[in-house]
Amino acid sequence: MENIQQNINTKELIEIKAPIVEALKQAYENPTYQFHIPGHTKGKAVFKDFRKLIGEKALSIDTTDEFDNLGTLHPATGPIKEAQELAAEAFGAKKTFFLLNGSTAGNLAIAMALTKKGQKIIVNRNCHRSILTGLMISGAEPIWVCPSRIEDWSIWGNIEAWQIEEILEKDTKREISMVWITNPTYEGVVSDVKSISVVCRKYGVPLVVDEAHGCLWNFNKHLPETALKLGADAVVHSLHKTGGSMSQTSMLHISKDSILDERAVEKALKLLHTTSPSLILLGSLDAARANLQSKNGQKLIQRAVLNAKYLRRRLDEIPNLHQLKSDFGYKTDVTKVFIKIDGLSGKRLESILEIDYNIEVESASDIGVLILCNLGNKRSDFKYLADCLEKIAQGHHKDIYYLEKRKHMPMLEPQIKMSLREAFYSEKETIRKDEAIGRISAEVVAECPPGISILLPGELITEEHLPYLNDYETLEVVK
Ligand SMILES: Cc1ncc(COP(=O)(O)O)c(C=O)c1O
What does the alpha-carbon distance between residue 234 and residue 245 come to, in Å, rounded to a whole number?
A: 21
Nearest Cα residue to 147 out of 179, 123, 130, 177: 123
Q: Alpha carbon of 302 to those of 176, 216, 311: distances in Å?
A: 41, 11, 14
**Taking every pair of C-alpha atoms in the chain, what is the biggest distance, in angstroms?**
65
Q: Which of 101, 130, 269 to mutate to test the pocket of ligand 1 (most atoms within 8 A of CB)?
A: 130
Which pLDDT score is estimated for 8? 47
Sorted by sequence, the CB contacts under 8 Å of residue 326 that are 6+ apart come out as: 332
CATH architecture group of domain 301-404: Alpha-Beta Complex (3.90)
Q: What pLDDT digit, counting tens, does each position of 90-132 carry?
A: 999 999 999 999 999 999 999 999 999 999 999 999 999 999 9
Which pLDDT score is estimated for 3? 45
Which pLDDT score is estimated for 403? 54
The answer to whether residues 354 and 376 touch, using CB atoms and an 8 Å cutoff, is no
Q: Which of 104, 181, 236, 448 to mutate to test the pocket of ligand 1 (most atoms within 8 A of CB)?
A: 104
Which atom belonging to ligand 1 lies closest to the Cα atom of 238?
10
The answer to whether residues 353 and 392 touch, using CB atoms and an 8 Å cutoff, is yes
Which atom belonging to ligand 1 lies closest to the Cα atom of 101?
11
420-478 has CATH 3.90.100.10 classification: yes
Take atom 10 of ligand 1 and give the residue whose Cα is closest: 102
Which atom belonging to ligand 1 lies closest to the Cα atom of 452?
16
- CATH number for the region 16-32+68-293 comes to 3.40.640.10
Which pLDDT score is estimated for 411? 81
On the CB side of 71, how many CA atoms lie within 13 Å of its CA? 22
Q: What is the bridge-based pairing of β-strands 176-182 and 189-190?
A: unpaired
**437-440 long-range Cβ contacts below 8 angstroms, 24+ apart:** 437/461, 437/462, 437/463, 437/466, 438/462, 439/475, 439/477, 439/478, 440/477, 440/478
Domains 16-32+68-293 and 301-404 share a fold: no
Which pLDDT score is estimated for 237? 98
Which atom belonging to ligand 1 lies closest to the Cα atom of 240?
10
Strands (E), 46-92: none
Domain residue spans in the chain? 16-32+68-293, 301-404, 420-478
The DSSP call for residue 466 is: G
Nearest Cα residue to 186 out of 156, 161, 223, 159: 156
Which pLDDT score is estimated for 2? 44
Walk along the chain (479 residues) and give the pLDDT tens digit of each residue: 444 444 445 445 558 999 999 999 999 999 999 999 999 999 999 999 999 999 999 999 999 987 778 999 999 999 999 999 999 999 999 999 999 999 999 999 999 999 999 999 999 999 999 999 999 999 999 999 999 999 999 999 999 999 999 999 999 999 999 999 999 999 999 999 999 999 999 999 999 999 999 999 999 999 999 999 999 999 999 999 999 999 999 999 999 999 999 999 999 999 999 999 999 999 999 999 999 999 999 999 999 999 999 999 999 999 999 999 998 889 999 999 999 999 999 999 999 999 999 999 999 998 999 999 999 999 999 999 999 999 999 988 887 665 556 677 778 888 999 999 999 999 999 999 989 999 999 999 988 888 888 999 999 999 999 888 888 999 999 99
Residue 122: burial class (beta carbons within 10 Å; 0-12, 13-18, 19+):
buried
